Amino acid sequence: MMRRNNILLIAFSALLILSGCIEVTFPEAMPMNRCDKNHFPKSWQGDWTFSEQSDDLDENLSIHPQYVSFGTDQVVLGEENVLRKFSGYYILSSKKENSQRWNLLFAKRDKDVIHVSRFDGNDDEKVKIWEALLKDDTLNRFEVIRKSGGDSDRIREYKLNPENNRDFRELIKSGGLTHVGDYLRNE
């Protein structure tokens, strides 16, 4: 079981690394206080291919009842990888290694197309949306974590800490997500 969780973390980390290195994390699996799904919907199961070339997603995706395969890597549902449904999306929350923070990946299916989105720390316009919704001087609902090295001081991570699911829904509905790409069902 631990091996599968490590494989999942590696796959999810690879997605984040390929997408630019500024992580966006949450304090818990999202949305808060919702039931975990113990399997992917039957209508989602099968083989899918990315609709166009992308550096952010693997070309092929295979969805099984309790895991997803990205090429040779697998993401297995469990304590470290949680699937929940919210606001029209299936949200895969993956716990960061050596941390209590979570990364999120959003998916929405429209017949034979799966649309994949995420919070993109490299998109300054999206960051402004998150900050406007969450910034509060008395609470740490929006945190910027910097990494200092030599002469540079660059952003390493955005910590989004919505107070409740209403705040989380606002992050989604106000344009805070970035569309990463689409997968088409294989015939």
Lowest mean pLDDT among 132-136, 142-146, 148-152: 148-152
Local confidence band at 151 (pLDDT 50, 70, 90 cut-offs)? low
Nearest-angstrom CA–CA distance, 126 and 160: 12
Q: How far is CA 59 from the centre of its chain?
A: 18
Can you give the residue ranges of every domain in the chain? 2-185
Percent of the chain whose pLDDT exceeds 70: 85
Nearest-angstrom CA–CA distance, 79 and 63: 19
Nearest to 85 by CA among 17, 31, 14, 27: 31
**pTM score of the predicted model:** 0.86
Residue type present at position 97: E
